[in-house]
Structure 1
Amino acid sequence: MKHENSPEHGLVIDAGGIATNYHDQGEGYPTLFIHGSGPGVTAWANWRLVLPVLATQMRVIAPDIVGFGYTQRPEGIRYGRQVWVKHLLDFIDALGLDKVNLVGNSFGGALALAMAVDHPERVNKLVLMGSVGVAFELTPGLDAVWGYEPSIASMKALLEVFAFNHDLVNDDLARMRYEASIRPGFQEAFASMFPAPRQAGIDKLTVPVEQLSTLKNRTLIVHGHEDQVIPVANSHRLFELLENAELHVFRKCGHWVQIEHAERFASLLKEFLRS
């Protein structure tokens, strides 16, 4: 089933009883893209610059995770790692997929790692970008993201935290993302996910070190050196723990590798996921 006319609306599928909005392009081995947890985020907003490029080589699938975007928000749902991982698993099942590559951005990286630990038979390669999933101290940047109170000024300030290159941030983008964040149900769900004290939100997404160190998946770890939201030290730690990992750090880059360095990011993924 196809949604109304907006690029953020894609196809809809029933995933474990949840009507799930997703994008599905290209042919070949399936690679699932898991977005981050910014206010008003959708899969399309997160991955729009790289999906069409990667779809020339592989099948790219990007869902709005339950609680975000245009996926149904079931009444009374309590968001958390187990709910999100179950939704992803139900989504993969609904598509009839046996095994997928996972590309996780930030919050999405923690879900990708949790999937790999909890359901190893369903996960092939991993790509982790600015990833959560290891223990770290709450940054002022992440506190601002998760504590967002809707206004155009707040959104512009957040975008300047996300991007190293502030030329990417203007009033039009801030207004567009602010309007996205106040769509019906968006802010209510978002505000319920990571309440203060927000360190608890990080801790609940952390995968135990002893589990991470058992993972054998080939893994590409990507991070912006100037990331103010998720510290680059996270990716160095993941690199130490994951035995089949490689690490690529971009200078002059914030939390938006897939936007600030879209072309290079896409080429890295093409090479890594092909080999």
Structure 2
Amino acid sequence: MGASAQGHFVTLPDGLQLHYQDVGAGEPVVFIHGSGPGASGHSNFKQNYPVFAEAGYRVIVPDLPGYGASDKPETIYSLDFFVSALSGLLDALDIQRCVLVGNSLGGAIAIKLALDQPQRVSRLVLMAPGGLMEKEQYYLQMEGIQKMGAAFANGELNDAAGMRRLLGLQLFDASLISDETVDERVAVVKQQPICVLSTMQVPNMASRLAELQCPILGFWGMNDKFCPSSGAQTMLEGCSRIRFIMLSECGHWVMVEHRELFNRECLAFLEEARP
């Protein structure tokens, strides 16, 4: 399948080219990956999105700008930049309404899109979403974020050994990381400009959570080294129509470490909350 799997490309009106997977037929479900050196939609969700397609959904898995096989411009990677790109992709595919599934930065993007365009989002599935406290708190408190930024800036991730060390921070059980995933991410990281991570700006949206009107399913691992699991409490207190699944012995990638539970619970949630 290669570093990004074989997918499709679309050029948005502003000239930005995005790469994405588009499989299955039915109600659209859009998977939004997190940040991090070498990330792509396929490498994050390859054990998940085919199951959703088989269950009768149309699955869209984009590479965010700066990641995967999408364009990687020298620009400021703000939350609104990502939301605009994702919204442009949905426009290009004529998707008026969809489910958003977001992990980490992807969770923050999903929340912001649902705040900006509530008519477009039928349900949210969030795995350890970002954007729930101030940026400084993430950098001061979270070991994974500190080490990720340093390793990327120092060029430590251009080989398999360095990348495997970093990805080990994402999981409680580092043995679950496949050689294929390591290789996929090394291939991407060599193309990423430093600004993709150094300029990333995600505001604290905790005060706006009450505006979210759609049903929400959340997941969080208690051993997360990137986004503190206290964010689940923040969301449960701020949102209506929400439930969370908390997991022990689980890091930042619930959909990898507990993929069968994740896939099963998500599909059940989508079925019961069909609009």
Whether TM-score is above 0.5 comes out as yes
Equivalent residue for 2:213, pick from 208, 213, 216: 216
Residue 217 of structure 1 deviates from its aligned partner by: 1.1
- Determine if the alignment matches structure 1 residue 264 to structure 2 residue 261: yes
Alignment of 1:205-244 (within 5 A): 205-209=203-207, 211-244=208-241
1:56 counterpart residue number: 54
Partner of 2:132: 134
Match of 1:72 in 2: 71
Instruction: Report if aligned partners of 1:155, 1:174 keep a CA contact under 8 Å in 2.
Output: no
1:105-127 deviations in Å (ceiling 9; x for gaps): 00000000110111111111001
Q: What CA distance in whole angstroms lies between the structure 1 residues aligned with 2:68 and 2:215? A: 30
Q: Which secondary structure state, in structure 2, belongs to the residue aligned with residue 157 of structure 1?
A: helix
SS at match of 1:22: strand
Bigger shift: residues 129-138 or 237-246: 129-138
- CA deviations on 1:149-203 (whole Å, 9 max, x unpaired) are 3334432321221110122247x468525622443x32x1xx213339xxxx56x
Deviation for aligned residue 1:98? 0.5
Which residue number in structure 2 is paired with residue 162 of structure 1? 170
Q: Determine the C-alpha separation between the residues in 1 that align with 2:145 and 2:269.
A: 29
Partner of 1:91, secondary structure, is helix
Q: Check whether the contact 2:4–2:184 (CA below 8 A) recurs between aligned residues.
A: no
1:193 maps to 196
Distance 1:193 1:36 in 2: 12
Structure 2 residue aligned with 1:180, among 153, 165, 187?
A: 187
Structure 2 CA distance for aligned equivalents of residues 245 and 68 of structure 1? 30
Is the 8 Å Cα contact of residues 40 and 68 (structure 1) preserved in structure 2?
Answer: yes
Q: Does the C-alpha gap of structure 1 residues 231 and 93 become closer, same or farther in structure 2, counting only changes over 3 Å? A: same
In structure 1, distance between residues paired with 2:232 and 2:247: 12
CA shift in 2, pair 1:206/1:146, >3 Å:
farther
Cα deviation, residue 148, structure 1: 2.7
**Structure 2 residue aligned with 1:122, among 120, 143, 146?**
120
Distance 1:13 1:207, change over 3 A: same
Secondary structure, in 3 states, of the residue corresponding to 2:125? strand
CA distance in 1, matches of 2:181, 2:60: 27
Structure 1 pair 100–174 and aligned structure 2 pair: CA distance change class (3 A):
closer
Measured at CA, do residues 266 and 178 of structure 1 come closer, stay the same or move farther in structure 2, by a change above 3 Å? closer
Q: Distance in 2 between matches of 1:88 and 1:169?
A: 28
Contact 2:79 2:203 in 1 (8 A): yes
Cα distance in 2 for residues equivalent to 1:107 and 1:162:
14
Aligned to 1:147, which of 147, 150, 166?
A: 150
Deviation at 1:100, TM superposition (A): 0.9
RMSD across aligned C-alpha pairs, in angstroms? 2.1
1:127 aligns to what SS in structure 2?
A: strand
Question: Counterparts of 1:31 and 1:173 in 2: how far apart (Å)?
Answer: 25
Alignment partner, residue 89 of structure 2? 91
Secondary structure, counterpart of 2:198 in structure 1? coil
**Equivalent pair of 1:105/1:129 in contact (CA under 8 Å):** yes
Q: Deviations over 1:187-225 (max 9, x none)?
A: x1xx213339xxxx56x332251x211211100011111
8 Å contact from structure 1 (residues 9, 21) kept in 2: no
Q: Which moved more, 1:102-111 or 1:173-182?
A: 173-182
Supply the distance in 2 between the matched residues of 1:175 and 1:271 (Cα, whole angstroms). 31
CA deviation map 1:217-244 (0-9, x unaligned): 1000111111111111112211111111
2:33 and 2:101 mapped to 1: Cα distance? Answer: 9
